[in-house]
Amino acid sequence: YGLSPKGERALFSARGDIFTAPIEHGPTRNLTNSSNAHDKHPAWSPDGRRIAFVSDASGEEQIWLVPQDGSAPATQLTRDFAVMLYQPDWAADGKALAISDKDGKLHVVDVASGNATLVADEERGQLRDHTWSPCGMWLAFSLSDANGYRSLWLWSREKASLHRVTDELLHE
């Protein structure tokens, strides 16, 4: 669940569909109304106009987008994932989404093209602690080290490059 950027509507998934409900006045909207799919993990875009969510409507879990006002049907953004996906996370400018999967891979998806870039691969489990910088140009997360500690890493969206912030002797 989550509140819209202006706090006017609540967003949630229930019974395999994505809904928004007014905080005070207005209709509740079923944005997906999909009895043939399991829609989950909705997230508001920073401008509040779109909602990203995960759906298996295509046969595999992919990221989909839908206008928050229900003015158009949901459209499939990605096509190449073949594993269970977790909550998408919008960059501040609304041009990219970070998403991790059950195999410990972290991807950044370009919203304009739907192309996904593999950012990191956690070999010892899942990677679900990622967060965008306020400017949306850096993605922070931790990865396991051979000694069992975790190190902090940053990924630059502009350069598509990884930067280790802490070494393996510093436990976060």
The gap from C-alpha 154 to its chain's centroid, in whole angstroms, comes to 17
Average pLDDT over residues 99-114: 98
Average pLDDT over residues 103-124: 96
Give the per-residue pLDDT at 172: 56
Express the helix, strand and coil content of the chain in percent, nearest 5 each.
0, 45, 55
Mean pLDDT of the chain: 95
pLDDT digits (tens, 9 = 90+) for 43-77: 999 999 999 999 999 999 999 999 999 999 999 99
Percent of the chain clearing pLDDT 90 (strictly above): 90
pTM: 0.93
Q: Interior CA angle at 97 toward 64 and 117, to 5°?
A: 100
Using 50, 70 and 90 to split pLDDT, how confident is the model at 124? confident
Average pLDDT over residues 164-171: 80
Supply 89's token pair. Answer: 């996370």
